[in-house]
Amino acid sequence: MSQMQPATRNDPPAEKPRRFVFVLLEDFTLLCFAAAVESLRIANRMAGKPLYEWRIVGEGGDIVHASSGSGFKLDGDLEELGRDDTVMVCGGIDVQAATTKRVLGWLRREARKGVLVGGLCTAAHTLAKAGLLDGKRATIHWENQDSFSEEFPEVDLTKSVFVVDGNRITTAGGTSSIDLMLKLIADHQGEELANMVADQLIYASIRTDQDTQRLSVPTRIGVRHPKLSKVIQMMESNIEEPISPSILAKDVGMSTRQLERLFRRYLNRSPKRYYMELRLQKARNLLMQTDMSVINVALACGFASPSHFSKCYRSHYDTTPYRERGSHATRLSI
């Protein structure tokens, strides 16, 4: 009679942790990076096992600085990745200068492997510059939306908190990193774990890719008048070719005089003045964040001539567009 063999256990192999590679660009935003990493750390803690691991890299592999001035020691230089890695590029202030040729070449090479590539905060600019967002939906911090739209018309830019389009991910910055990570955790490990992570972060309202990054017009201006809100939305959507107050008033079913009274009552300025301030705000964003000529900035913001643009700009900001551009270039060179 043959001797009985001990029973063997066929336990499933341990799941390999999913690896995130965070690429920190110079002057990156600390909050968006920390929010992403902390979400992964807490997921591991709640699960009681290492579901995620991460590595922090950057150009040069030494020290990189956050926009707050804090220096961070990197784990290594830009390195070859595995196909299962997830890349998260972290941007911040002056992402244009931080987006170097070496970073772009590395991103293009690694993206060809089919890895999941994300851009946190302003790093959507870096991904777009590398050509990784062509034909894709994306988002970026609201302050950079004007310059992004001008430079990358082939990208379908949204105002969402975050966007996942195939193997490309972008976020608007700040706490939107938490929302993105909670979605990735839910997709990977289930909603129960994602909710546990949210509870640990004391994050009571989880946003989706359908939520917009800025407050609604009524909330932002502290007014809940539906017709006024509609007019402001029309103004914000028609900066390059401004609409006359008479047409705006007609579109919401009121007279021009009624529209004037509405703006005076709630915003203490005329519709024309409010519209001008919106256009000048966009112009300032373009001057500070792009290398567009002053003439092209003027045209993009609805000004027929550079002289009129310069006069309006100086009246509002107490400096000329040319000096604004020059002072910005000087600050960047320091």
pLDDT at 10: 55
Highest mean pLDDT among 110-114, 144-148, 219-223, 288-292: 110-114
Task: Flag whether pLDDT at 110 surpasses 80.
Answer: yes
For residues 148-159, average pLDDT: 93
Q: What angle do CA 308, 312, 314 make, to 5 degrees?
A: 115
Nearest C-alpha neighbor of 310 from the set 324, 300, 320, 301: 320
For residues 80-92, average pLDDT: 94
Share of the chain above pLDDT 90, in %: 68
For residues 45-65, average pLDDT: 95
pLDDT at 89: 98
For residues 178-198, average pLDDT: 94
pLDDT at 307: 92
Helix (H) / strand (E) element for 23: namely strand 18-24
pLDDT at 3: 47
Do strands 52-57 and 137-138 pair parallel, antiparallel, or not at all (unpaired)?
unpaired
What DSSP character marks residue 143? G
pLDDT at 334: 33
Longest dimension (CA), the chain: 106
**Distance (Å, rounded) from C-alpha 251 to C-alpha 246?**
9
pLDDT at 206: 76
For residues 176-186, average pLDDT: 94
- For 194-253, the pLDDT digits (tens) are 999 999 999 877 777 766 655 555 555 656 688 888 899 899 889 999 999 999 999 999
- For 115-137, the pLDDT digits (tens) are 999 999 999 999 999 999 999 99
What dihedral do alpha carbons 268, 270, 275, 276 form, nearest 10°?
A: -90
What DSSP character marks residue 60? T
Q: Return the higher-pLDDT residue of 180 and 1.
A: 180
Here the tokens at position 195 are 């909710």
β-partners of residue 76 are 57
pTM over 0.75: no
pLDDT at 280: 93
1 falls in which pLDDT band (50, 70, 90)? very low
Task: Flag whether pLDDT at 94 surpasses 60.
Answer: yes
Here the tokens at position 286 are 């373009």
pLDDT at 330: 42
The answer to whether 170 touches 118, Cβ cutoff 8 Å, is yes
- For 281-297, the pLDDT digits (tens) are 889 888 887 888 999 99
Q: How many CB atoms lie within 10 A of CB 332?
A: 12
β-partners of residue 120 are 90
